[in-house]
Amino acid sequence: MLSSVRRQLDQLEIQSSFMAHWICRIVPSQCPFERDITVFGRQVAHIPPLCKLNPLYEEVVNLRFRALCYLADECGEDIQCYC
């Protein structure tokens, strides 16, 4: 089942700027779960990035990269706001 989802994500073509913007908005550029826990100004714990535990991580990151490339190459947009 996962292999078919991976294949679909890899074969998905970005064909519009709307779709590329939507992908860039929903897929974060960094793992949102990584955190430093501080108490009274001292770091007590560190939560490592958990995104790599996601079995579809590589495909989703690749999809975001292709969306950014589409915006930069095809649409001529400045993509620094998405980084």
How many domains is the chain partitioned into structurally? 1
Q: Which H or E element spans position 66? A: helix 57-73
The three-class DSSP label of residue 40 is: coil
pLDDT tens digit string along 12-61?
999 999 999 999 999 988 888 888 999 999 999 998 888 888 898 999 99
Domain of 20, in residue numbers: 2-82
pTM of the model: 0.79
According to the model, what pLDDT value does residue 48 have? 87
According to the model, what pLDDT value does residue 51 have? 83
Q: How far apart are CA 43 and CA 9, in angstroms?
A: 38
